[in-house]
Structure 1
């Protein structure tokens, strides 16, 4: 009797899993040969998009409201529990995207055009997408000084006297590019103000979820706290990268870079790999000991001057 019951349970379980896995196949415009096939399939499994429609419409532009729902679910935000949102006149409580916009607004991830208008039916731009993804998935925001080629995408740049900086969303775009999570529409153009298609958003979310380990659980330290003469340091070398590795250098001055007096990075992000001890040596001869330890199931780091 027990074996018979278990057989029925397993059979129904397999049918359910099979149904979910094949859901993307129900879209007449999504085929296994498409580069976004697995990304769409993943969103269906997460219930971020419906599996009961005939078409996914991959080349259709995604609206700000649709994006709020898809990203909120994919990022695991607690959209059922948030402070009420009542200032956006185009997002009443009865709106299908209300609870997703509410949680994102509560967390400061999204804002409206003004206090009363969110623009729920307007198309999401690639610049807006970058900001929302960085904040929703907790990607550490890097500074302009981090990037090997900060002028890579010309449509992100804004000229200043004696230097340059980024337009709105430029820093978020370059942060995602640094972690190999986003590319431009060409070698020199990101497409900051261009709208995002549904397939592009699906692919971006898939990348963030698949490569989460590259940007999560990063530990940072300030150069001035660990080194006696941080202004003399231009490079750090970690002795044993099987224990920890340097992921990025950044600074508190995130937006503008001066040609004459570039600001040196002041913050270092490292990625703990396993429990152990190694040494970071600066090119001015100073060294610090880095100890990676585990607490509450998370790898953490402590530092000691040598």
Structure 2
């Protein structure tokens, strides 16, 4: 039982530990770029913490052309942005491909606060803070040791003074003297004077030669030149000497013993782990040790609990992979120190060290096609803060032969024969991701099937078919497929209107798509606009200008072998008149009636009416058709309809259309002249009379595929003569009245 309880407790502890890590590690990759053969850049959106984004550089020191180094402002006493330092440090054989801000620094003076050295030269002595609420309360540094391994560990920076056959530990180098300390100032101090307060003793030493640098393993010996006790005057640091600044009873006693002309030596050293290191940069706190969360500061302190931007350096267990990580924290987002440590653990790092964060958090990368380092993250203040030292991911690979081409096309898709497009080379990289300066004279264009011609970076489709364009640049090549067609699969016209007053304008645009319904590539001049009917003109841009008289016609667009059209009506601005008492000027079909009556095709009644709702008889239909078509009524053959004698008033008209097979009789040899003409019969008569053809996808709900006049009704619809009723019916068996028959005749004659 006890074993089971322990097992449950253990599982709960595992869950409690793992859940937050899983939450922090839940992230979406926004960017993933190989900056060089040994440096990978990724940008994440983290869903488990309140962050804007996380930027991550993974640096592989096993790669022969990859290293990590420090970067400093042009003037060590000043500050500079991360990207400015990195870009300036980048040169042939030493390309900075990524960088991150690093050292904590004095905000007013600009110098680093903690130990910083390179190739044993001590660039900054630094200070160690004695409170666990401070970031840097233990001597911990990141660096690359003499054997080329990355390291994050404690260090022992040792400064010893030898005087009167005794050895004393000096507290620091080239920094402000605090209570009960002894500090040595060399000519490498950022100021020419010590600037120490008057509550101490300052001893000035002269050496035989100038001190041009301060480094591990160095021993400098000098003779006392002057002693200043309780002086408010600035003590200058000699170029060929140094100054020891003492404070406190112990050091006061030593200073009191010193005499002008006595000899004192000071030595500088560091523990063997860091001796001869390529560089080392002190920071804090440590965040991860041996793959586990290990924060060397009080996590309850305000600095640790603050949710803000963060920066860190981390290494793998084999010390061959270095990780530079930044967390953006604008708009009160980011991570606290504990969350940041958890996140780094979730990445699988072995050790991690906190770097200067907050407004200093900055990461820069080298984008493809450029050697400049540009901002990759979003600083909390909206712009980069100038800093005192950075860490750089460097590719030492020399620029070599072109390896890859990145290009973009101004248009992508199926091309029309005769169309011209172009491409642009965005950048060319060698095998080490270094940019190659592009020379247009080295670009060679080819196509597999010779269906295109080239003019520089432009290409024109010559023939229909499939092809592949290939761009060669020395040893690099890039290609893309092309499909070329003689015409679009679909061509549609969009109009600003389908009717216009005389002398007014309408705008038409065409949309051409391929078989996949994607936009077809063509040159504007390939789209041809024409007008059918004497209604006006249309420009090459599809602007229609109506003529000065009313009428109907079509606007036609042609692209390659494909045509499309849209009907258009030009209306007169003159108010229409009417000669019939039962046709108002507001009648929607007054234009059609006036046209037919003006031509003498149809007449009204003696009482001055038109009677638009009267049904058309079969005899009247014969009369109207013969008039409009101008049929010869003299040379006719008797159709021998039993109910149409030669004395019938419309005998000749009925005979004329029967002779042309425009209309046929009914059963028993009769014509049924007084019978009402149905809409289906009308369709057949008009199709026969005007040789109409065509089909349409439009279906009428009351016209089945088996209907005797289905083909004629379809042809009439395809020709634009009829549209049916609004309810989707055609009403084939209903009689057609004088108004509708007039409309059909008008449309068919235009």
Using the size of structure 1 for normalisation, the TM-score is 0.53
> Which residue is equivalent to 1:196?
736
Is residue 60 of structure 1 aligned with residue 614 of structure 2? yes
> Which residue is equivalent to 2:319?
none
Please, what is the CA RMSD of the aligned residues? 2.2
Contact 1:46 1:73 (8 Å CA) reproduced: no
The whole-number CA distance in structure 2 between the counterparts of 1:132 and 1:205 is: 11
> Which residue is equivalent to 2:696?
147
Please show how residues 174-213 of structure 1 align to structure 2 within 5 Å: 174-210=714-750
Please show how residues 223-234 of structure 1 align to structure 2 within 5 Å: none
| Structure (1 or 2) with the larger CA radius of gyration | 2
The whole-number CA distance in structure 2 between the counterparts of 1:128 and 1:86 is: 19
The whole-number CA distance in structure 2 between the counterparts of 1:206 and 1:125 is: 18
Please show how residues 96-135 of structure 1 align to structure 2 within 5 Å: 96-135=649-688
Question: Aligned in 2, Cα 1:52/1:186: closer, same or farther, shift over 3 Å?
Answer: closer
The whole-number CA distance in structure 1 between the counterparts of 2:666 and 2:675 is: 11
Residue 586 of structure 2: which of 7, 21, 33 is its match? 33
Contact 1:49 1:70 (8 Å CA) reproduced: yes
Shift in Å, 1:113: 1.1
Residue 137 of structure 1: which of 690, 699, 706 is its match? 690
Question: Aligned in 2, Cα 1:175/1:187: closer, same or farther, shift over 3 Å?
Answer: farther
Contact 1:147 1:178 (8 Å CA) reproduced: yes
Shift in Å, 1:88: 1.2
Shift in Å, 1:121: 0.4
The whole-number CA distance in structure 2 between the counterparts of 1:115 and 1:101 is: 17
Shift in Å, 1:59: 0.7
The whole-number CA distance in structure 1 between the counterparts of 2:732 and 2:605 is: 33
- Which 5+ residue runs of structure 2 have no aligned equivalent? 1-576
Contact 1:72 1:136 (8 Å CA) reproduced: no
Q: Tell me, what secondary structure is at the counterpart of 2:586?
A: coil
Shift in Å, 1:92: 1.3
> Which residue is equivalent to 2:642?
89
Q: Tell me, what secondary structure is at the counterpart of 2:581?
A: coil
The whole-number CA distance in structure 2 between the counterparts of 1:201 and 1:51 is: 14
Shift in Å, 1:35: 1.7
Contact 1:29 1:56 (8 Å CA) reproduced: yes
The whole-number CA distance in structure 2 between the counterparts of 1:180 and 1:204 is: 9
Offset from partner CA, 1:45-64 (integer Å, 9 cap, x none): 22222356311100111111
Question: Aligned in 2, Cα 1:112/1:28: closer, same or farther, shift over 3 Å?
Answer: same
The whole-number CA distance in structure 2 between the counterparts of 1:78 and 1:62 is: 20
The whole-number CA distance in structure 2 between the counterparts of 1:85 and 1:44 is: 29
Contact 1:82 1:102 (8 Å CA) reproduced: no
Is residue 42 of structure 1 aligned with residue 578 of structure 2? no
> Which residue is equivalent to 2:239?
none
Shift in Å, 1:154: 2.4
The whole-number CA distance in structure 2 between the counterparts of 1:190 and 1:180 is: 14
The whole-number CA distance in structure 1 between the counterparts of 2:635 and 2:584 is: 38
Shift in Å, 1:81: 3.5
Using the size of structure 2 for normalisation, the TM-score is 0.22
Q: Tell me, what secondary structure is at the counterpart of 1:156?
A: coil
Shift in Å, 1:126: 0.3
The whole-number CA distance in structure 2 between the counterparts of 1:43 and 1:51 is: 11
Offset from partner CA, 1:65-96 (integer Å, 9 cap, x none): 1111112212x142414432252122111212
Q: Tell me, what secondary structure is at the counterpart of 2:647?
A: coil
Contact 2:642 2:670 (8 Å CA) reproduced: yes
The whole-number CA distance in structure 2 between the counterparts of 1:177 and 1:129 is: 13
The whole-number CA distance in structure 2 between the counterparts of 1:155 and 1:83 is: 38
Shift in Å, 1:174: 0.9
Q: Tell me, what secondary structure is at the counterpart of 2:583?
A: coil
Offset from partner CA, 1:224-264 (integer Å, 9 cap, x none): xxxxxxxxxxxxxxxxxxxxxxxxxxxxxxxxxxxxxxxxx
The whole-number CA distance in structure 1 between the counterparts of 2:715 and 2:726 is: 17
The whole-number CA distance in structure 2 between the counterparts of 1:130 and 1:170 is: 9
The whole-number CA distance in structure 2 between the counterparts of 1:126 and 1:82 is: 30
Structure having the higher strand fraction is: 2
Shift in Å, 1:115: 4.5
> Which residue is equivalent to 1:251?
none
Shift in Å, 1:208: 0.8
Q: Tell me, what secondary structure is at the counterpart of 2:716?
A: helix
The whole-number CA distance in structure 1 between the counterparts of 2:687 and 2:722 is: 11
Question: Aligned in 2, Cα 1:30/1:85: closer, same or farther, shift over 3 Å?
Answer: same
The whole-number CA distance in structure 1 between the counterparts of 2:588 and 2:638 is: 37
